[in-house]
């Protein structure tokens, strides 16, 4: 917070992929050193984005995909009537911009939630590279497929789950993602606003706020502003799955 008063020239402190702790998260390829070197060479490191800045906006020409290096960001689209719809939150090691591959320009925007640095991967160069690297090609397909899978999970959440199930699922999911990155799975910082959370989960801000309060009253979490402490992850996981009005009354569908 206090060390980055003066922006220094990033290009000088560029870090190679092979030395990046996130490397196996963003492109977990099984390639040799030589291939990795090639991959590394096309990747651009850009100056960090400040909170609120856009990596790209809706309609921007698609040129590159991005890997989050540090910080976090959100992607969002616009409904026809000008409403923002948060599509996802992205933590270090995650890729952004995959939904633009098909088209000419970005169908959604990416905005930094805090000071965030990313690796820019020009897509045409990546494709060229992949032409001669079957492993990379296959990896790309897997990454996109995984993204589809994640979206399907979110679809289930929005289609079936009640408000508390949604928030519980959200917290549990974040917890797992932080853990995977070596951060605490019990305690973390929510870089997104309540508004963004509600938007993402298909809930009103007020509902999110109330739920945080209720979860806290029930001893599930301790919430202090954007700081979250999960006191009972098991119970939260339970709520994320089975709960709501049906769980108590009777067998839901005979299973």
Site residues for a copy of itself per CB under 8 A: 77, 79-85, 87, 98-103, 107-108, 127, 130-131, 134, 137-138, 140-149, 151-152, 154-156, 158-161, 199-202, 240-242, 247, 252-253, 255
By CB under 7 A, residue 246 contacts DNA: yes
By CB under 7 A, residue 76 contacts DNA: no
Q: Given the DSSP bridges, would you call strands 117-122 and 187-189 parallel, antiparallel or unpaired?
A: unpaired
Enumerate the β-bridge partners of residue 187: 229
By CB under 7 A, residue 164 contacts DNA: yes
By CB under 7 A, residue 243 contacts DNA: no
Binding mask 191-230 for DNA (x = CB under 7 A): --xxx------xxxxxxxxx-xx---------x-xx----
99: CB partners within 8 A, 6+ apart:
87, 106, 107, 108
Measured between alpha carbons, how far is 53 from 30 in angstroms, rounded to an integer? 34
Binding mask 40-69 for DNA (x = CB under 7 A): -----------x------------------
CB of 203 to DNA, least distance (A): 4
């Amino acid at each position: 917070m206090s060390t980055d008063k003066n922006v220094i020239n990033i290009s000088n402190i560029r870090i190679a992929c092979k030395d990046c702790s996130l490397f196996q998260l963003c492109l977990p390829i099984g390639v040799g050193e030589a291939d990795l070197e090639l991959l590394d060479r096309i990747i651009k490191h850009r100056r960090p984005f400040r909170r609120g800045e856009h990596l790209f906006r809706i309609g921007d020409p698609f040129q590159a995909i991005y890997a989050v290096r540090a910080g976090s960001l959100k992607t969002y689209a616009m409904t026809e009537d000008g409403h923002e719809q948060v599509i996802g939150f992205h933590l270090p090691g995650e890729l952004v911009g995959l939904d633009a591959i098909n088209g000419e320009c970005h169908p959604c925007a990416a905005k930094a939630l805090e000071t965030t640095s990313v690796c820019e991967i020009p897509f045409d160069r990546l494709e060229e590279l992949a032409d001669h690297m079957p492993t990379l090609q296959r990896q790309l397909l897997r990454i996109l497929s995984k993204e589809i899978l994640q979206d399907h999970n979110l679809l289930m959440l929005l289609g079936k789950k009640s408000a508390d199930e949604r928030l519980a699922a959200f917290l549990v999911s974040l917890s797992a993602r932080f853990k995977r990155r070596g951060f605490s799975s019990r305690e973390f910082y929510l870089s997104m606003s309540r508004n963004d959370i509600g938007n993402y989960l298909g809930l009103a801000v007020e509902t999110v706020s109330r739920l945080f309060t209720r979860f806290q009253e029930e001893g599930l979490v301790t919430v202090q502003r954007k700081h979250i402490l999960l006191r009972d992850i098991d119970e939260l996981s339970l709520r994320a799955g089975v709960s709501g009005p049906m769980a108590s009354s009777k067998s839901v569908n005979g299973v």
